[in-house]
Amino acid sequence: MFTGLITDVGEVVDRSAGGFKLKTAYRLTPEETGLSICCDGVCLTATEIRPLATGTEFSVDVSNETLAKSTLGSWHPGRRVNLERSLRVGDELGGHIVSGHVDGVAKIISITPDGESRRFLFEAPEHLSRYIAPKGSVALDGTSLTVNEVAESRFGVNLIPHSLTVTTWGAKTPGDLVNLEVDVFARYVARLMEFRP
């Protein structure tokens, strides 16, 4: 379980047939092998941990299902990745409940300045747009964001300067694809509505 508050930007250092190797500023130890790390919104298990002088290198395995539902199929060495460690009991829940189970991929349609912030317009897959509501929450590339407006399959969010600086969002451009996780509560409400008499 995560909050969508990014705590490091890591980097992909290697790709293999079964997964990736990433570098992070987190100080992890080999004894923590098996921990969950949210990587651009995808909950992945650290299968191997190697301490470095300036942080840690960790490996993750990736299933075909994850590759099909996310942007991970396009990852390459040098890619910067939003990272968040899993919640511990007593941690502050500053964003919203994020499971790390990506629902699909959204596309950036436009980015426009809004004072010091930037307004991003996205297009979501049609089957997911019903779960996105104004003033609701979404996780995009692992970042907890508040939805400003929704029009059919398109929706907008604002990113403040702090978020643009401490995440990968400052380098995004129109046309980029991002991992989308809709609000877990919206999913359950929609499912319950299917059984109304």
CATH number at residue 74: 2.40.30.20
Check whether residue 120 and residue 176 sit in a common domain: yes
Domains in the chain, number: 2
Check whether residue 120 and residue 183 sit in a common domain: yes
Check whether residue 118 and residue 73 sit in a common domain: no
Check whether residue 74 and residue 132 sit in a common domain: no
CA 106 to CA 121: how far, in whole Å? 10
Domain extent at residue 110:
104-193
Q: Is 150 exposed, middle or buried (0-12, 13-18, 19+ CB in 10 A)?
A: middle
Q: What is the model's pLDDT at position 184?
A: 80
- pTM, 2 dp: 0.93
Q: What is the model's pLDDT at position 195?
A: 75
CA 68 to CA 57: how far, in whole Å? 25
Chain length of the chain: 197
In a domain, 92, yes or no: no
In a domain, 98, yes or no: no
Per-residue tokens: 35 = 């921990």
Check whether residue 116 and residue 76 sit in a common domain: no
Check whether residue 59 and residue 128 sit in a common domain: no
In a domain, 94, yes or no: no
Q: What is the model's pLDDT at position 50?
A: 97
Check whether residue 68 and residue 112 sit in a common domain: no
Check whether residue 116 and residue 56 sit in a common domain: no
Taking the chain (197 residues) in runs of 10, the rounded mean pLDDT of each run is: 95 95 97 97 98 96 94 97 89 84 97 97 95 94 97 97 97 98 81 72
Evaluate whether 9 touches 168 at the Cβ level (below 8 Å): yes
Check whether residue 69 and residue 17 sit in a common domain: yes
Q: What is the model's pLDDT at position 187?
A: 74
**Residue finishing a domain among 56, 85, 114:** 85
